[in-house]
Amino acid sequence: MSEAVASLSEVSRTYGGVPVLESVSLAVEPGLTAVIGPNGSGKSTLLRVLVGATAPTAGEVRHPDAIGAKPIGYLPQRVPFREGFTARETLAFYARLVGDDPDAALDRVGLGDAGDRRVEALSGGMRRLLGIAQAVLGDPSLVVLDEPASGLDPGMRERAFRAAADRADGDTAVVVSSHALDLVDDHADRVVVLRRGGVAAAGPLDRLLDERDAADARELYRVVTGETGALPGDEGEVPEGDGGGDDGGDEGEIDGGDTEPDVHVTGVSDR
Amino acid sequence: MRGPLTGVATVFRRELATVVRTPGYGVLAVGLLVAVGGLLAAGGGGATGFVPAVVDLLLPTEALVPLAAVVLGYRALLADGASGELAVIRTYPVRVGEYVAGVLLARTVALVAVVGVPYALVGTGVWLTAAPDTGIFATHTGIDSPLLYLRFLAFVLCFGAAYVSLAAAVSALAASRRSAIALGVLALVAGVLGGDLLLLRSIGAGASPATIPGSLALTPNGAFRGLVFEHVIGVAFAPEGGFVSTGRAVGSLVGWTLLGAVVSGGALAYGRRVDAAIERVRSGIVD
């Protein structure tokens, strides 16, 4: 059994008195963990609590094995970089804080040729790749990516997910939230299924598939949540430019702006 | 390798680059130059000398400099928080104090450019057009001098720095751009008018006029005005001085600057916990 890089114990979080996360206990181990669930199930809030961007209203978050100068890497659902700066300048700001090389980071995600383009001139997919490059700067033990494949075309989705999966090894835990269940099937070691702010199922993907007698992640999702998952390539709910995300202060779990009916909490604020 | 000042320097560079790339701040500086130059021209122009120029500019400066400082600072700490980038920055080895210091230093440097340059240009204009005896580098009673204007400029920048810091505190407390504007306007009005109104009220309530120099120094505007009277205008026209306690006035401006920085740091450092605590109370009420 691997050591947990991070753990949540009985974590709850409310907004405006309305529960978004309820008594979530979880151990994050090295490898790629995919957090899946319907819109409004608490995925983004769970990830924000995990990285410390949001304080829980109850429970405890620990990072026992997240070590180093930068123990945690984080990419919010809405890529937040300041406009007016080029991709290289943006990464250089972060790289300088951890003594990393921004050009190498750009190359790692295939943006080496786009370094001189301003952030606002990048496509949504390229901004997301830039966000992934930022998140893995400094070689953190825990990398948390909120919908890294959101709003991307099929090629970019695969590239973004692969960039995330490549970081997951024996020492590094990568946690991604996603509706791209085909990519979850291909890359995830473990899965956490959220439903209405609680953990409906969690564990190694293979074990959960066996236990639930499911053929793949999509069927597992349907069995556990009672809903159909997004079709392959359907994670493009967020239009390019990320205007429909649920992060950056609008933490109401409007996961990407699609229209599934099971929206648990909408429009609540983080501030 | 990362040194103790790496965080401050890195944030400072980014913030300064942001300011340099924001055309609005250039417009603000030009607007301030036009306003200050226009006020001076309306008061008789540069030919009257440095101290008369300071007399003409003193009252408008008490409103214009805070306004420019609030414009420079009201979104300084809000921008990253509102965009979500602050959550990313905080995963890096940058303490809240380093982040606030980097942002505040950059915004203060911006203030030196946006406010200092127009006032320096106006001072240069006075130097070029004033009567010959204003070129004497002396500060003793009865003599006008460029050094007196330099003192005025130094007080203007200290005064503006206090307001930049207070505006940054407002930006750290605000939840949105709209609330930042509202809080900034409130701070501006309270700062520019509030101190004098309180002073008048206390005198009206029977406080001794002898307490004015002490009380005046407590607000940024009062401290600035007192220092200008004591060390610029008074030097030329009123040898007895006594407008304000210099130490108290300087301490007041430094204190307001530090207060803004501390409130900014506190808001960013403890904001999440306060937010969670408020949520716990709300949840208790809902239950």
What DSSP string runs through A70-100? S-EEEE-SS--PPTTSBHHHHHHHHHHHHT-
What are residue B232's phi and psi, to 5 degrees? Answer: -125, -70
The answer, yes or no, to whether residue A2 has pLDDT greater than 80, is: no
Distance (Å) from the alpha carbon of B160 to chain A's nearest alpha carbon: 26
Interface confidence, given as ipTM, is 0.85
Higher pLDDT, B188 or B105: B105
Higher pLDDT, B273 or A235: B273
Task: Share the mean pLDDT of chain B.
Answer: 88
pLDDT reported for residue A145: 96
The answer, yes or no, to whether residue A258 has pLDDT greater than 50, is: no
The answer, yes or no, to whether residue A266 has pLDDT greater than 80, is: no
The answer, yes or no, to whether residue A255 has pLDDT greater than 50, is: no
Report the percentage of chain A scoring pLDDT > 90: 65
Domain containing B260: what range? 6-274
Distance (Å) from the alpha carbon of B282 to chain A's nearest alpha carbon: 5
B189 domain residue, yes or no? yes
Q: Which of A48, A57, A97 sits opposite B280 (nearest CB)?
A: A57
The 8-class DSSP code of residue A119 comes to G
Please give the interface size between A and B, counted as residue pairs whose CB atoms are below 8 Å apart: 112
Distance (Å) from the alpha carbon of B258 to chain A's nearest alpha carbon: 25
B284 domain residue, yes or no? no
Q: Which of B83, B93, B272 sits opposite A55 (nearest CB)?
A: B272
Q: What is the mean pLDDT of residues A242-263?
A: 35
Give the number of domains in chain B: 1
Q: Which of A15, A97, A145 to probe by mutation at the B interface, max B CB count within 10 Å? A: A97
Q: What DSSP letter does each residue of B186-254 carry, written as one string? A: HHHHIIIIIHHHHHHHHHHTT--GGGHHHHHTTSHHHHHHHHHIIIIIHHHH-TT--SS-HHHHHHHHH
Residues A85-107 have pLDDT tens digits of 999 999 999 999 999 999 999 99
The answer, yes or no, to whether residue A17 has pLDDT greater than 70, is: yes
Do the Cβ atoms of B10 and A18 come within 8 Å?
no
Q: What is the band of B131 on the pLDDT scale with cuts at 50, 70, 90?
A: low
Report the percentage of chain A scoring pLDDT > 70: 83
Do the Cβ atoms of B10 and A93 come within 8 Å?
yes
Q: Provide the β-strand partners of residue A176.
A: A34, A145
pLDDT reported for residue A261: 31
Residues A116-174 have pLDDT tens digits of 999 999 988 899 999 999 999 999 999 999 999 887 888 888 888 888 888 888 789 99
The answer, yes or no, to whether residue B6 has pLDDT greater than 50, is: yes
C-beta separation of A20 from A197 below 8 A? yes
C-beta separation of A98 from B93 below 8 A? yes
B281 domain residue, yes or no? no
Nearest residue on chain B to A47, judged by CA atoms?
B87
The answer, yes or no, to whether residue A238 has pLDDT greater than 80, is: no
Q: What DSSP letter does each residue of chain B carry, written as one string? A: ---TTHHHHHHHHHHHHHHHT-HHHHHHHHHHHHHHHHHHHHTT-GGG-HHHHHHHHHHHHHHHHHHHHHHHHTTTTHHHHHHTHHHHHTTSS--HHHHHHHHHHHHHHHHIIIIIHHHHHHHHHHHHHS-GGGG----STT---HHHHHHHHHHHHHHHHHHHHHHHHHHHH-SSHHHHHHHHHHHHHIIIIIHHHHHHHHHHTT--GGGHHHHHTTSHHHHHHHHHIIIIIHHHH-TT--SS-HHHHHHHHHHHHHHHHHHHHHHHHHHHHHHHHHHHHHHHHH-
Q: Which of A233, A226, A257, A140 shows the shortest CA–CA distance to A183?
A: A233
pLDDT reported for residue A239: 36
List chain A residues with CB under 8 Å of B82. Answer: 248-249
Q: At residue B269, what is the residue type? A: A
What residue spans define the domains of chain A? 6-81+125-225
pLDDT reported for residue B235: 77
The answer, yes or no, to whether residue A244 has pLDDT greater than 80, is: no
Task: Share the mean pLDDT of chain A.
Answer: 84
Residues B46-75 have pLDDT tens digits of 777 899 999 999 999 999 999 999 999 999
pLDDT reported for residue B239: 59
pLDDT reported for residue B58: 95
Nearest residue on chain A to B87, judged by CA atoms?
A53
B286 domain residue, yes or no? no
Q: Name the architecture of domain A6-81+125-225.
A: 3-Layer(aba) Sandwich (3.40)
Taking the C-alpha atoms of residue A250 and residue A242, their distance in angstroms, rounded to an integer, is: 13
The answer, yes or no, to whether residue A264 has pLDDT greater than 50, is: no
B176 domain residue, yes or no? yes
Residue B27: alpha-carbon gap to chain centroid: 19
Q: What is the mean pLDDT of residues B175-190?
A: 88
Nearest residue on chain B to A249, judged by CA atoms?
B82
Residues B183-239 have pLDDT tens digits of 889 888 888 888 888 878 887 777 777 777 777 888 999 999 999 999 998 876 665
